[in-house]
Each structure stands twice: as C-alpha cells, then as structure tokens.
Amino acid sequence: MKDLNIGMIGYGFMGKAHSNAYSQASHFFPGEYRPVLKALCARNRDKAAGFAENWGYESIETDWRELLKRDDIDAVDICTPNNLHKEIAIAAAEAGKMILCEKPLAMDVAEGEEMCAAVEKAGVRNMVWYNYRRVPAVTLAKQLIDEGRLGKVFHYRANFLQDWTINADVPQGGAATWRLDAEAAGSGVTGDLLAHCIDTALWLNGGIQDVSAMTETFVKERMHAETGQKEAVKIDDACSFLCHFSNGSLGLFESTRYARGHKALYTLEINGEHASIRWDLHDLHRLEYFDHGDDSIVRGWRSIHVSDGDQPYMGNWWVPGLQIGYEHSFIHQVADFLKSLETDAVVSPNFRDALETQKVCDAVLASAAERSWKSI
C-alpha cells in the first residue's frame, strides 16, 4: 500500500466533499494507493485547525506557498474561489505537485491555457472536479452511448436549475456567497452550473461548434459581504443557449438560480435514433432509458434503479436496491485518480478537457453580451 499525500487548499463546501472522498475511497475501492490527509491550508488558522481536526488532517498551513514547498505533499487539491485557481495551479505545477482542481478550471480561456501549459510542461498529473461524470447513472449513460445503443443523436438538452438567490437580501461576496461576486467567481451560473452541464455534454456527445446565448441578472444590486455596501451585481443570474454539436445534433442548455422549486436540479436528456436517455440530479440514482427496439406494445421509458453490481461503481457499494448519494461521485473520482496512479492512464477530465468546457463558457458569455452566434 502506497500513500498519496494530499495537501488541501480551502475548507468550504468543496473542501468537505473532497475530504470525505479521500477518507472513503480506499474503504470501498481498495487498491495500491491510499490517500493520506497530510495538510490543510487556509488563511484563518483557527478555522483551518478545526476543519483539520474533524477530518484528520495531520497538519495545517496558512499560506499555500508554504504548502507547495513541502516535500511530504504529493498532490495539491485546489478548493479556493475561482480567481485563485490559476496562480496556485501554475505554482503547484512548477513545484512538481499533482493537481486536483475544483471546477471551473479558470476565470476564462486565457487563464486556462496558461494552466494547461504549466501542467503539461511540468508533466504533472492533473484533474478537474467535474464530479457528475461519476454519478453511476451518468457513467452508465456514457457506457450505453459507447455501446452504440442510441445511434445517430438528434438532440441534447440539459439544464441546471436552482432557486436560492431569489431573495434579494442574499449578499454577494464573502466566504458563503462568493459565487455571486464576479471578482471571485468570474461568472454566475455559467461557470458554476452550466460548466457542469457542458462538461458532461462534451463527454457524452462530443464537441460544440457554435452557440447563441442569453443571460440575465434579475437582482441588479446586492449588499457585498466584505464592503458592507450595496454594489452592482455583475454575474449572470440565468443563462440559456442554443448550440450545434459536431455530430450534427442540436443542443439546448439552461441554467438559473431563479427557478422556484428546484434546489439543484441538473437534468440531461439525449435523443438518439434508436434510444433516448434522461437523468436528473434530484434522483441521481436513476436513469431513464427508452429503447425503440422493444416490442411496440410494451415500449416505454424505463426507470433504471442504478444500484446493481453490474452497473458502474455499484459493485463496490451495498446490495441491489440500496442507493448511494451525491458525495459518492467524488469518492469515485478519487478512486479513479488512485487507479490512474497504478495504470499511469490519463484520468479525465484533466485540465485540457476542462479547457474545452471553458471555451464554451466564454463563447456563451460573449454571445450573450453581443447578441450574436459565436463559434467555439
């Protein structure tokens, strides 16, 4: 058993999700490598210490540059707000660390290209936490597509709907709401939510050629948690776009934080010549599947309860019928990362994959700003 020493930067929601994944991966996916929670890095020493104790991190740092200097760190996990990804990632690459970076990769394509160049020059293993690829039902969708069950694809549609910012009293900025602050987040729902939809789409359905987008900011001003002042909201509250995929199919994407009744409803559907697939995050353990090859009198959408041993990842969990949840997608990503150390395979999505998603995001924002179609 070999140790993979992790240095985690950040301790917010994603820091918790990743820490849990490192803690759990080897229990359910035993292999040659095992993650060790070596160091937790955050500016606030007290908060860092509390988080480290809870999760069993062996040490803490308050300056990420110090973390990168340590020889006992093999891999750096970047869980900071988006505006810090680039600087840390490039420095980590230069320090020869493997990098596991939260999504979206960067604030924009230019940053992302620098980051790709850095990791490729340094030759360090790199991965981006687009975790939804590893929800078993989504992984099963990929398998069905790769088996050719859908045939020619006509349509791909996805949306990611939330409702948590309808209240105009939600502030922007600060630890809890930096996602509403353009300085920290780069964009609103485009980088936060649509990026997930785009990553999955590129993986399942191939490249996107052009987009026509529309964005909206419903609440124009919000108190800033750091300045205490009402400031203009510069992120997109909602974003929708039309697109063409390289395989000839049509795409339709939408994301918003103003869809009352939806907490985190990421839904995707693919319509192929022979079969169709649907999935949604609110019931993530199910995949809907329609097979036109079924006898016509008994054709219907099948609700597949993805919990059997022959379905992706599920043989390592419980028994048929017993569902897993959101956190497990991260555990699978760690398990696959660890496995990649054994096999020396590229683990996806890496920085280069995530750059493709960034390109679509940038084109979407440009299209919306200019009210015109944009090629990728």
Counting contacts by CB under 8 A, is residue 357 touching a copy of itself?
A: no
Counting contacts by CB under 8 A, is residue 103 touching a copy of itself?
A: no
Counting contacts by CB under 8 A, is residue 276 touching a copy of itself?
A: yes
Site string for a copy of itself, 196-215 (x = CB under 8 A): ----------------xxx-
Which of residues 3, 63, 221, 308 is near a copy of itself by CB under 8 A?
Answer: 308
Please choose, out of 96-104, 188-196, 200-208, 271-279, the segment that lies near a copy of itself by the rule CB under 8 A: 271-279
Which of residues 71, 169, 229, 319 is near a copy of itself by CB under 8 A?
Answer: 319
Choose among 101, 61, 99: nearest CA to 85: 101
Helix (H) / strand (E) element for 157: namely: strand 153-161
By C-beta, is 83 or 212 nearer to a copy of itself?
212
Choose among 1, 27, 12: nearest CA to 328: 27
Count of C-beta atoms within a 10 Å radius of residue 151: 12
Distance CA(144)–CA(43), nearest Å, equals 45
Which of residues 101, 128, 193, 304 is near a copy of itself by CB under 8 A?
Answer: 304
Counting contacts by CB under 8 A, is residue 226 touching a copy of itself?
A: no
By C-beta, is 46 or 298 nearer to a copy of itself?
298
DSSP letter for each residue of 78-143: E-S-GGGHHHHHHHHHHTT-EEEEPSSS-SSHHHHHHHHHHHHHHT--EEE--GGGGSHHHHHHHH
Distance CA(51)–CA(170), nearest Å, equals 25
Counting contacts by CB under 8 A, is residue 246 touching a copy of itself?
A: no
By C-beta, is 123 or 321 nearer to a copy of itself?
321
Counting contacts by CB under 8 A, is residue 282 touching a copy of itself?
A: yes
Distance CA(17)–CA(332), nearest Å, equals 12
Distance CA(10)–CA(60), nearest Å, equals 11
What residues from 42 to 81 belong to the interface with a copy of itself (CB under 8 A)?
Answer: 54-55
Q: Give the total of residues touching a copy of itself (CB under 8 A).
A: 92
Which of residues 43, 247, 263, 366 is near a copy of itself by CB under 8 A?
Answer: 263
Counting contacts by CB under 8 A, is residue 2 touching a copy of itself?
A: no
What residues from 158 to 187 belong to the interface with a copy of itself (CB under 8 A)?
Answer: 161-164, 166
Which of residues 170, 225, 265, 376 is near a copy of itself by CB under 8 A?
Answer: 265
Which of residues 96, 148, 315, 320 is near a copy of itself by CB under 8 A?
Answer: 320
DSSP state of 172: B
Please choose, out of 58-66, 91-99, 200-208, 301-309, the segment that lies near a copy of itself by the rule CB under 8 A: 301-309
Can you name the residues that pair with 214 across neighbouring β-strands?
240
Torsion, Cα 367 157 356 144, to 10 degrees, reads -170
**CA count, 13 A, side-chain hemisphere, 129:** 26
Counting contacts by CB under 8 A, is residue 157 touching a copy of itself?
A: yes
